[in-house]
Chains A and B, each alone.
Chain A
Amino acid sequence: MVMQLPLTRPAAPVFERSEGYWSSVFRRLRRDRVAVAALAVILAIVAVALLADYVAPADPYRGATLRRLRPIGTAGFPLGTDELGRDMLSRLIHGARWSLLMGVTPVLVAFVLGSAAGILAGFAGGRINTVIMRSVDVLYAFPSVLLAVALSGALGAGLGNALLSLTIVFVPPIVRVAEAVTTQVRGRDYVEAARASGAGAFTIVRVHVLGNVLGPIFVYATGLVSVSMILASGLSFLGLGVRPPEPEWGLMLNTLRTAIYVNPWVAALPGVMIFVTSIAFNLFSDGLRSAMDVKR
């Protein structure tokens, strides 16, 4: 009943590998000028942070009372000096290390913990979901700034405690996003199709849930990096995070606050860096979000 066509297969089949998921994401990302610019800024800051010892023109810790609060453009101190006469440029460069550490680490740890808990809650459903989500809601009830400050205050000042409290602040929103996306994916036809073709719960989570869920969570987490940097700066500003004389941007903003009437431009520099870095992370996260939307 079906017509048999004289089918001859070509001797060498034309085998053209279509691009993978990530390379197509990358291709779309490359066309997005804002995202590329944001990524360039992030990479530049990361590079400077890594190479701080070689890039910085002076010792960020050595000050001199005689050359305090020099304005931007002073010979030998392109970005001026701070209230103790330390070279601002070198301090900003070294500060990138601290600020990136404070911005990225809590988000990364929270990403791992939050995704695991959220995916478990979303996939298991029922009572497990209730237990996880309601516990998360307890933390969610506090404004994030307040929670970070309260936790840091309770745990005591210091870098480790600041990182810990920031991590705790970021777990709940990531759990929520992970749970929401997982619940959505769990109800999709392809999960039922996988079940119908004999996949166990573990295979379904590993292949279908992770594959579809990690992307959106990752995008969300990227956006949190800027929040984390700002919160970390806030903690340092309050004396709960990095301690002097370390050159962390938030801390620098705090100590330079007194000089704002003497030399406002220099005093604003750490704030400018926080602003630029966090906006770069935000714009990059936006670009990534639209690039990862496969169906466009």
Chain B
Amino acid sequence: MPIVEIKDLRVTFTGGGKPVPAVSGVDLEVERGETLAILGESGSGKSVTLRALMRLNPEGKSRMEGTVRVAGQDVAALGRRELRAFRGRTAAMIFQEPSLALDPVYTLGQQIAEAVMVHDGCSRNEAMARALALFERVRIPSPERRLQAYPHEMSGGMRQRAMIALALSCRPQLLLADEPTTALDATVQIQILVLVRELQREFGLAVIFVTHDIGVAVEVADRIAVMYAGRVVESGPMREVIRRPRHPYTIGLLRSRAHGALAKGARLETIPGAPPDLADLPPGCPFAPRCFLATATCATTAPGPEPVGAGHQARCLRVDATAALLPAVAEG
């Protein structure tokens, strides 16, 4: 049984005037020990989907529909107390900006010990011992001293390691990572990715990794889900999606990468237009206005998921047309 099962998840923000459907009908599954990368640009609903898994979207200002089951528990039905036990223990999260996600007035040791004590009710000494073990595990040099350090005294990479240690402190089964490498240097990025990979194998963690960086997704993921305008437009095994993309948006994303050194004077390919206003989506495919393959039907008919390979789906009416493009994409 998969550890994460999302069926027809809809999250609507109702804070402002017009309700904004940030996520509209997402289906996802993640197996134990598997890493799923959710790929998408800003506003595609990837972070909202991730937060919905822990019910972290503001309760008063958003509405959540559909089923979200994590480790057999229906997340929407959890009571206050169960939800507190669920967060941190079943699922834990690491954030994009570790300097903001760590409390500046407490030492790292205190913060980890606090989380451990809240969940396990153990003594401060035991909690600190666990924090030390975790610091060693995420390979922070001179961990004893670093436990006594404040977040601002550490480098970005060390802070993110500490953040990971904090997330793992209550031995979760599912790790949610919200662009954890975006704020880091390229060299530090790869170290953190390697670390996440390694911890994931060691603890048998399921990882959901939200990113807008295809390179990062390729580095960590077993499977990839590409999101656009609040829905998953393409999902499948990592290699399959990267080598044989079938949704025009994925194709556009892959083409708009700078592969290695771009020849001088060569233009970077881009996807024309801008992401749609979520509060005012077109009736058909939300990508149609920017799509190079769009037909008149695309503007009126919303596509359903089309199977295009083993475990590979694309939400596009023109998967036949994209199939014809395959050699061109693979060569690029």
Are B56 and A192 within 8 A (Cβ)? yes
Are A188 and B118 within 8 A (Cβ)? no
Are A196 and B102 within 8 A (Cβ)? no
Are A189 and B104 within 8 A (Cβ)? no
Are A196 and B105 within 8 A (Cβ)? no
CB-CB contacts below 8 Å: A132-190 with B: 188-190
Known: A18-B107, A189-B101. A198 touches B152 (CB 8 A): no
Are A197 and B87 within 8 A (Cβ)? yes
Residues of A within 8 A of B103 (CB): 190, 194, 207-208, 211-212
Query: CB of B217 within 8 A of chain A?
Result: no
Task: Determine the distance from Cα of A18 to Cα of B144 in the docked complex, in whole angstroms.
Answer: 10
Are A198 and B119 within 8 A (Cβ)? yes
Task: Determine the distance from Cα of A215 to Cα of B325 in the docked complex, in whole angstroms.
Answer: 61
Are B105 and A212 within 8 A (Cβ)? yes
Residues of A within 8 A of B101 (CB): 189-190, 192-193
Identify which of A1, A14, A197, A203 gathers the most chain B CB atoms within 10 Å of its CB. A197
Query: CB of B54 within 8 A of chain A?
Result: yes
Identify which of A126, A190, A199, A203 gathers the most chain B CB atoms within 10 Å of its CB. A190
Query: CB of A6 within 8 A of chain B?
Result: no
Nearest A-chain residue to B94, judged by Cβ: A193
Task: Determine the distance from Cα of A211 to Cα of B105 in the docked complex, in whole angstroms.
Answer: 7
Nearest B-chain residue to A213, judged by Cβ: B105
Are B198 and A211 within 8 A (Cβ)? no
Task: Determine the distance from Cα of A261 to Cα of B64 in the docked complex, in whole angstroms.
Answer: 78
Are A198 and B118 within 8 A (Cβ)? yes
Known: A197-B115, A294-B150. A15 touches B85 (CB 8 A): no
Contact with B along A12-54 (1 / 0, CB 8 A): 0111111001000000000000000000000000000000000
Known: A198-B85, A198-B86. A13 touches B144 (CB 8 A): yes
Contact with A along B51-82 (1 / 0, CB 8 A): 00010100010000000000000000000100
Residues of B within 8 A of A212 (CB): 103-105
Identify which of B87, B88, B97, B105 gathers the most chain A CB atoms within 10 Å of its CB. B105
Contact with A along B164-202 (1 / 0, CB 8 A): 001101100000100000000000000000100110000
Known: A14-B144, A18-B107. A196 touches B150 (CB 8 A): no
Task: Determine the distance from Cα of A126 to Cα of B118 in the docked complex, in whole angstroms.
Answer: 28
Residues of A within 8 A of B119 (CB): 198
Are A196 and B56 within 8 A (Cβ)? yes
Are A199 and B118 within 8 A (Cβ)? yes
Nearest A-chain residue to B117, judged by Cβ: A203
Query: CB of B114 within 8 A of chain A?
Result: yes
Known: A193-B93, A193-B102. A14 touches B142 (CB 8 A): yes
CB-CB contacts below 8 Å: B206-257 with A: none
Are B145 and A21 within 8 A (Cβ)? no
Are A15 and B152 within 8 A (Cβ)? no
Chain A interface residue number, banded: 20 to 34
Are A15 and B84 within 8 A (Cβ)? no
Residue A126 contacts which of B60, B87, B97, B149 (CB distance < 8 angstroms)?
A: B60
Query: CB of A244 within 8 A of chain B?
Result: no
Known: A203-B118, A207-B114. A197 touches B148 (CB 8 A): no
Report B80 CB to chain A, min CB distance, Å. Answer: 8
Report A291 CB to chain B, min CB distance, Å. Answer: 14
Nearest B-chain residue to A193, judged by Cβ: B101
Are A196 and B93 within 8 A (Cβ)? yes
Are A196 and B114 within 8 A (Cβ)? no
Task: Determine the distance from Cα of A212 to Cα of B93 in the docked complex, in whole angstroms.
Answer: 22
Query: CB of B89 within 8 A of chain A?
Result: yes
Query: CB of A62 within 8 A of chain B?
Result: no
Task: Determine the distance from Cα of A21 to Cα of B88 in the docked complex, in whole angstroms.
Answer: 27
Contact with B along A198-229 (1 / 0, CB 8 A): 11100100011001100100000000000000
Nearest B-chain residue to A295, judged by Cβ: B152
Query: CB of B100 within 8 A of chain A?
Result: yes
Residues of B within 8 A of A190 (CB): 100-104
Query: CB of B314 within 8 A of chain A?
Result: no
Are A195 and B95 within 8 A (Cβ)? no
Are B170 and A21 within 8 A (Cβ)? no
Nearest A-chain residue to B109, judged by Cβ: A18
Contact with B along A262-296 (1 / 0, CB 8 A): 00000000000000000000000000000000110
Are B152 and A211 within 8 A (Cβ)? no
Are B170 and A294 within 8 A (Cβ)? no
Known: A21-B105, A211-B106, A294-B105. A197 touches B95 (CB 8 A): no
Query: CB of B30 within 8 A of chain A?
Result: no
Nearest A-chain residue to B201, judged by Cβ: A1
Are B92 and A295 within 8 A (Cβ)? no
Nearest B-chain residue to A126, judged by Cβ: B60
Are B104 and A294 within 8 A (Cβ)? yes
**Residues of B at under 8 Å CB distance from A?**
54, 56, 60, 80, 84-89, 92-93, 95, 97, 100-107, 114-115, 118-119, 142, 144-145, 148-150, 152-153, 163, 166-167, 169-170, 176, 194, 197-198
What 8 additional pairs, Cβ within 8 angstroms, besides A15-B145, A194-B103? A2-B198, A18-B145, A193-B95, A197-B170, A198-B85, A198-B118, A200-B80, A203-B114
